[in-house]
Structure 1
Amino acid sequence: MAKHLLPALTLLFALPAGAMLWQGQDLSRIFAAVAAPADLLDGCGDVPEAVALAEELRDRALRIERYMESIDARKVALEQAESTLRERLAELRARQGSITARQNGSTEAVRTDIERLIALYDQMKPAEAAAILTNLPADFAAEILMRVKPETGAKIIAAVEPRQAALLTAQMGARSVRNP
């Protein structure tokens, strides 16, 4: 008789499930838990442990819900902050580009002015250039002497008094050491 019990129980459970599948119904609703949170205490209201457990579960559910809401609010705030930062980054990059362009323009203007000044000293007579250079700050005069043609620079230094020539030469050497 035990041999026939297992197939009979299989048929007992399989036939209704097969019929539901045949009709296209969803079986998950049958096997899912159907107890709503409010229905958890039905019949257990007189058991203090069950009441305490139900209250604890309800409190935890509320805390989790509040926590999830705060996470959603933080997510929105982070998205807004990220958007603001992206806009600011784009603005700063645009400003950086314009600053770089202005610096390049300024640098080019300074180079042009220096080249004109050097050309001017190259065209002067050495004695006249020496008289002007001795009245300039030593580092500026040394910079000019470093950039003029070597022959012109040599003639200008020869026209400067020896003490001033030594100072200018030391400045030129110091500049060479600083800017290899």
Structure 2
Amino acid sequence: MRKGLLPGMAALLGLPVIIFGLQRYDVSQFFTAMADPPALMQGCMDVPEAVALAETLRDRALRIERYMEALDVRKADLATAEQTLRERLAELKSHKTDTQTRRDTHTSEVRTDIDRLVAVYDQMKPTEAAAILTNLPADFAAEILMRVQPENGARIIAAVEPRQAALLTAQMGARSIRTR
């Protein structure tokens, strides 16, 4: 049991040293160097175990070198994909900003148009405004009545036929409930 303890401790203590050493050097160059037949093998070509070990090490070094090359290709592919994604993200953000600006402009224009229309109805005589509003769709007429001055709105509703006035009032109440 004590015989296995000493080599285990040596391996445990030596492993960080080996890892540190490998980190300081380019590992691919180490394995590339091993892929070439070493000069030490010149006198050992008649020992089959040494030749087999050298071939195994060379094969492993070549596999590791190919793996490292594949990793480099993958890194390049990932960098390209990341750059493409960044460009697409910037494009989408720009498109979002443009869309929001257009939407805000459109909303502002619609509000300006509605304000002008309301101002026109505010200036009209209640009987004339009532005659026009009864021919408009009920929800649109209710929207106009909600925005005119309250005194003018009351006069306009008073000038509308009672059945139509009830419908407009119901639409105005429904609009108030929807906006809450």
Question: Scaled by the length of structure 1, what TM-score is found?
Answer: 0.69
Greater RCO, CA 8 A, separation 6+: 2
- 1:156 and 2:166 correspond: no
Larger gyration radius, structure 1 or structure 2: 1
- 1:88 and 2:88 correspond: yes
**Count of aligned residue pairs for this structure pair:** 145
Q: Which moved more, 1:150-159 or 1:97-106?
A: 97-106
Question: RMSD between aligned alpha carbons?
Answer: 2.3
- 1:72 and 2:72 correspond: yes
Aligned to 2:102: 102
Amino acid aligned to 2:104: N
Aligned to 2:4: none
1:20-65 superposed Cα distances (whole Å, 9 cap, x missing partner): xxxxxxxxxxxxxxx95524765375445x5554444333322222
1:154-176 superposed Cα distances (whole Å, 9 cap, x missing partner): 11111111221111111111111
1:112-153 superposed Cα distances (whole Å, 9 cap, x missing partner): 110000001111111111111111111111111111111111
Amino acid aligned to 1:88: R
Aligned to 1:43: 44
Q: Cα gap change, 1:36/1:149 in structure 2, threshold over 3 Å: closer, same or farther?
A: closer
> C-alpha separation between the residues in 2 aligned to 1:174 and 1:68?
70
- The percent identity for this pair of structures is 68
Q: Point out where structure 1 has 5 or more consecutive residues left out of the alignment.
A: 1-34
Question: Scaled by the length of structure 2, what TM-score is found?
Answer: 0.69
Aligned to 2:170: 170
> C-alpha separation between the residues in 2 aligned to 1:81 and 1:36?
35
Please report how far the alpha carbon of residue 90 of structure 1 lies from its aligned counterpart in structure 2 after TM superposition.
Answer: 2.5
